[in-house]
């Protein structure tokens, strides 16, 4: 992102405070929460629950302005997401991180395993990407890769169907990168398993890999994540 993202966030928060006639302690409030907000935004992991935790650092602000923290939080979250969607300088890499986060934060429910194909998930990702994209048929496979000309990258997408199927994606993506004369690719794997597969256990859900001189960014999008309520239930059962 631009180095002036701090100023952008400050403006958004201040505008929202003024809109809600919340002027008491506004300077202290904005300056306190901005660093944490910016860090979460740049890491692509600002969820509503995260925003609420950040805002709770200044409970005195809500008391001084007689505000409901939950209502304020929901409104500010909506405003941040809307205004930052026009912030064009977010890196492509971070935009893919945000896509992963958005899917795992609840949108995965719209893609049940039994009725969701690789084409559906690939098309959803292509629609999400703000830069111009196009899909080019892969010879003999009947699938498509996503090409993003402005970023000079190609995206390979697959459902997780085991190590062999996963590994088959690298030579396919590498072949496309060579033909396009690109040096960087993205490999997005949608995984419906509840337990982490072997690749995730060894590398994490997001990592990079060099393949025949090409840099491949690998993202596992968890399509059946453990929800907070499930974690709470499990912790209660163990206690």
> Which residues are registered as beta bridge partners of 157?
188
Q: Based on the domain organization, do 63 and 98 belong to the same domain?
A: no
Looking at residue 88, its pLDDT comes to 52
Does residue 157 share a domain with residue 130?
Answer: yes
Do 105 and 201 lie in a common domain? yes
Do residues 18 and 128 share a domain?
no
Which structural domain range is residue 33 located in? 5-84
Task: Give the per-residue pLDDT at 136.
Answer: 61
Tokens describing residue 191: 């995984």
Look at residue 239 and tell me if it is in a domain.
no
Domains held by the chain: number? 2
Q: Which pLDDT score, from 0 to 100, does residue 106 have?
A: 84
For helices 118-128 and 92-104, the axis angle rounded to 10 degrees is 130
Whether residues 32 and 48 share a domain: the answer is: yes
Question: Is residue 235 situated within a structural domain?
Answer: no
Instruction: Mark the ranges of the chain whose per-residue pLDDT is less than 70.
Output: 1-4, 86-90, 135-144, 226-239
55 in Cβ contact with 73 (< 8 Å): yes
pTM: 0.61
| Residue-level pLDDT at 142 | 41
Distant-in-sequence, close-in-space partners of 43: CB < 8 Å, separation ≥ 6: 94, 97
User: What pLDDT score does 140 carry?
Assistant: 40
Distance CA(180)–CA(185), nearest Å, equals 11
**Gyration radius (Cα) of the chain, Å:** 21
Residue 29 included in any domain: yes
Question: Among residues 84, 112, 138, which one ends one of the domains?
Answer: 84
Provide DSSP, the chain: --TTHHHHHHHHHHHHHHHTT--TTHHHHHHHHHHHHHHHHHHT---HHHHHHHHGGGHHHHHHTT--HHHHHHHHHHHHHHHHTT-TTS-HHHHHHHHHHHHHTTGGGGS-GGG--HHHHHHHHHHH-SS--EEEEPTTT--EEEEETTTTEEEEEEE---HHHHHTHHHHHHHHHHHHT-SEEEEEEEE--SS--HHHHHH-SEEEEEETTEEEEEEEEESSPPPHHHHHHHHHHH-
């Amino acid at each position: 992102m631009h180095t002036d993202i701090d100023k952008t966030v400050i403006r958004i928060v201040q505008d929202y405070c003024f809109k809600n006639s919340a002027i008491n302690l506004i300077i202290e409030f904005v300056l306190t929460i901005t660093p944490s907000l910016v860090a979460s935004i740049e890491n692509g992991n600002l969820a509503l629950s995260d925003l609420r935790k950040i805002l709770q650092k200044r409970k005195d602000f809500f008391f001084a302005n007689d505000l409901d923290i939950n209502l304020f939080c929901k409104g500010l979250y909506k405003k941040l997401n809307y205004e930052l969607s026009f912030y064009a300088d977010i890196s492509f890499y971070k935009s893919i991180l945000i896509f992963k986060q958005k899917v795992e934060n609840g949108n995965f429910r719209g893609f049940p395993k039994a009725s969701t194909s690789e084409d559906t998930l690939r098309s959803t990702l292509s629609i999400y990407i703000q830069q111009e994209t196009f899909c080019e048929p892969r010879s003999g496979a009947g699938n498509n890769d996503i090409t993003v000309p402005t970023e000079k990258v190609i995206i390979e997408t697959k459902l997780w169907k085991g190590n062999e199927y996963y590994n088959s994606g690298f030579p396919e993506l590498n072949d496309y990168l060579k033909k396009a004369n690109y040096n960087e690719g993205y490999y997005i794997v949608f995984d419906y398993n509840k337990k982490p597969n072997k690749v995730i256990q060894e590398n994490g859900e997001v990592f990079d890999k060099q393949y025949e001189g090409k840099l491949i960014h690998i993202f596992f999008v968890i399509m059946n994540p453990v929800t907070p309520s499930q974690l709470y239930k499990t912790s209660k059962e163990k206690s």
